[in-house]
Amino acid sequence: MLVTIAFIVSLFFAMNIGGSGAAAAMGVAYGSGAIKKKYIALLLCAIGIFLGSLAGGEVIKTIGSGIIPSSILTVKIVIIILASAAISLFAANIMGIPLSTSEITVGAVVGVGIAYQTLYIQKLLFIVSIWIIIPIIAFTCTYFIGKWFLLIKKKYPSIEQGAWRKTFMIALVVTGFFEAFSAGMNNVANAIGPLVGAGLISVTKGTIIGGLFVAFGALLLGYRVLETNGKKITRFSPFEGCAISGTGALLVIISSIFGLPVPLTQITTSAIIGIGTAKSGFYVWQKRIVIQLLKVWLVSPVFSLVISYSLVKWLLDSDIYTVIAIISVCLATIGTLSLKKTITEEKRSLHENGGGI
């Protein structure tokens, strides 16, 4: 019974990974107009993800046994890890926020490791440092590519017209598919890794089944997140889209070869922001959607960590007092933020109405 629940939660999580990854993989091609219909973008994304998942074995091994010892991965622990990550990702998909599945999965695994006081700290710190470095590389690459292309357009104003435009459009679809491939190569491991680590399924079978469900999730749940990455951050030309997709895909595939779970969505969004900054200056950073994305990236791994840690303490250790303490801290934090917001709004109201300020 527990094994069946573990597989159900894993496959539900895989579908949500597909919904979130669709934005990262094909949002650029859709946003630039190379693919005009959402369902076509999502279909290409699904095919690319499945093919990429077949080459994702190294990342599966890292998630399964590279952060915590595989010896503590019982069926119950696997369910807790996957449920914690799935809850976080499902909430993000409902809000239309492209969330990093790697961050929330690693956060959930770390929560279990903290509960049992067993973590491969050096490996974890290396992964986290990569999370910081790679998005910066993506932003830097696309920023300078964007600046270079602006200079080219000044010299050759017609470069985005006629035959050149058609060429860029075709290249953009190809690089978008390439990025979908990288998504499958890296992100399927987040749903299947814990099952493999617990010995419930082999790496080969896991990649096939996980890849199918992630692809299905892209078709079923990817619409809102696709719209966020494709339309709401900044608009870009076909060439700029190629730079974004190509940069993201290359960085993720290199990371996957070395078995590193990396935030594909964060990398792609950083690349989009890099292009936007090159075109519009740092004004793009003032857009609320960018600020919202940055907040979610910071909160998401901590959120899944707290959920998995709390579930271990509550369901396995029967330590209800620790759970009560965690909930109290969360409520206090929410209350403090709400109070700060209320005070800020009250001061603004007094200032606008001339109430002595």
Which tens digits make up the pLDDT trace of 249-305? 999 999 999 988 888 777 877 888 888 888 877 766 666 656 666 676 777 788 888
Look up residue 71 and give its DSSP letter.
G
Q: How confident is the model at residue 356 (pLDDT cuts 50, 70, 90)?
A: very low
- Quote the pLDDT of residue 138: 93
Q: Which residue in 316, 313, 337 sits closest to 325, CA to CA? A: 313
What is d(CA 184, CA 214) in angstroms, rounded to the nearest whole number? 8
- Quote the pLDDT of residue 35: 83
Mean pLDDT value across the chain: 82
Domain ranges of the chain: 2-318, 320-357
Residues 6+ apart with CB under 8 A from 334: none
Range name among 34-38, 105-109, 141-145, 230-234 with the lowest pLDDT average: 230-234
- Asked whether the predicted pLDDT for residue 145 surpasses 90, the reply is yes
- Asked whether the predicted pLDDT for residue 112 surpasses 90, the reply is yes
The arithmetic mean of pLDDT across residues 36-49, rounded, is 87
Helices assigned H by DSSP within the chain: 2-31, 38-53, 57-65, 75-95, 101-115, 121-155, 162-197, 203-221, 223-231, 238-257, 264-280, 288-311, 320-352
Q: How confident is the model at residue 245 (pLDDT cuts 50, 70, 90)?
A: confident
